[in-house]
Amino acid sequence: MRALLGDRPAQTPVWFMRQAGRSLPEYRALRSQGTMLEACLDPALASEITLQPVRRHGVDAAIFFSDIIVPLALLGIDVEIAAGRGPMFSRPLHTAADIARTVAIDPASLTERGGAITDAVARTTAMLAEESERRGEPLPLIGFAGAPFTLAAYLVEGGPSKDHMAARRLIHTDRPAWDDLTSWLAEVTGRFLALQIEAGASAGQLFDSWAGGLHPDDYRDAVLPSSVAALAHARGLSLPDGVDRLPLVHFGVGTGEILADMATPDIDALGVDYRVPLDEARRRIGRDLTLQGNLDPALLFAPEATRTAAVHRILEAGHAARAHVFNLGHGVPMDADPDAITSVVRTVHDWRAP
């Protein structure tokens, strides 16, 4: 939390997006029955999955085990997470009438429908407190939500897409419908993030899988306002006594051309994917934020010497920013060797600036 808010601890903190990442055998054993969505909505299962990589790898924070489509499922939208494919919607939003029908659902109902999420967060923070006592250092929980554009892209496509053509087309052919959809999704995902924070998460991350597929002008005009609105839900929450600011992180994939746009005043840290070195990202941003990232996940498969050298380069580049939280430049691959992940954590913790 100190690093996210701009302090620079002697030891660089590290956590990984998609920490379980289907790479842990203990995760696969838990997930051998039932669907991904069922696991996300089972508080006992979700909390245990959240803790598994914390225990295994010795990372400095937990990321809440969830999926970006969970709030949509809670609101009654028919979706499943297909193995090897991702979210699949039975009724894609192809028309303005489809969008109007969907945005009529009240996002405020997440509060009453999200009991499984608040229960899972409460269980997780209690388990983290026990792990923190064992380690002798605090272990925060980071809340997680999908950005409005990524959710919109899935909804209008009906599932994953290589080029997000349906979403990009809708921006230009029916802007009022697009604005209605993304404004609604801003409230949905903002409330979902707020739900986790109010239940005990210490920070929040907004994850935009597909923002990098947009022209920068389209991102600024048609997408960024909804992400800002989503983050505003978390930023506007009442804070516990003694807490001055809740750290918020914004991350997107392939966003090298829009990093400066994503670095809005309401965030504390910007996640950078593996395509842009951290010192170059700092130059592009133009202001001093904490940077998060950004080892290429492919390097988890490299020889140890190659991997260690890459980690050191990233740690050195991270000194261009006010503070640095080490992470991958995307999620943990499902076939990564857990021992390689643990080795990266040790390398990061052992490193000290020259």
Assess contact for 47 and 123: CB atoms under 8 A.
Answer: yes
Q: Is the pLDDT of residue 353 over 90?
A: no
pLDDT band at 85 (very low <50, low <70, confident <90, very high): confident
Active site residue 67: yes
Chain segment 4-43, per-residue pLDDT in tens: 999 999 999 999 998 877 899 999 998 888 899 999 999 9
pLDDT band at 239 (very low <50, low <70, confident <90, very high): confident
Chain segment 113-169, per-residue pLDDT in tens: 999 999 999 999 999 999 999 999 999 999 999 999 999 999 999 999 889 999 999
What are residue 203's DSSP bridge partners? 142
What are residue 326's DSSP bridge partners? 14, 293
Active site residue 274: no
- Report pLDDT for 242: 80
Q: Which two tokens stand for residue 66?
A: 């969830």
Chain segment 272-307, per-residue pLDDT in tens: 999 999 999 999 999 889 999 999 999 999 999 999
Our measurement of the distance from residue 223's CA atom to the centroid of its chain's CA atoms, rounded to an integer in Å, reads 17
- Report pLDDT for 298: 97
Chain segment 124-133, per-residue pLDDT in tens: 999 999 999 9
Contacts of 56 (CB under 8 A, 6+ apart): 24, 26, 338, 342
Strands (E), the chain: 62-63, 79-82, 86-89, 141-146, 203-208, 248-252, 269-271, 290-295, 324-328
- Report pLDDT for 22: 81
In the set 60, 67, 261, 296, the catalytic residue is 67
In the chain, where the domains are located? 25-350
Residue 90: Cβ-neighbour burial (10 angstroms; 0-12, 13-18, 19+): exposed
Q: Which fold has domain 25-350?
A: TIM Barrel (3.20.20)
Active site residue 169: no
Count of C-beta atoms within a 10 Å radius of residue 173: 10
Active site residue 154: yes
- Mean pLDDT, to the nearest integer, of 317-329? 97
Chain segment 182-202, per-residue pLDDT in tens: 999 999 999 999 999 999 999
In the set 56, 123, 154, 322, the catalytic residue is 154
Phi-psi region of 34 (alpha: psi -120 to 50; beta: other; left: phi over 0): left
DSSP secondary structure string for all residues of 14-76? B--TTSSTTT-HHHHHHTTSS-HHHHHT-HHHHHHHHHHHHHHH--S-EE----TTHHHHHTT
Assess contact for 103 and 77: CB atoms under 8 A.
Answer: no
Count of C-beta atoms within a 10 Å radius of residue 243: 10
Helix, coil or strand: residue 270: strand
Active site residue 175: no
In the set 8, 31, 113, 275, the catalytic residue is 31
Phi and psi dihedrals of 98, rounded to 5?
-60, -45
Average pLDDT of every residue of the chain: 95
- Integer Cα distance of 207 and 227 in angstroms: 10
Assess contact for 37 and 348: CB atoms under 8 A.
Answer: no
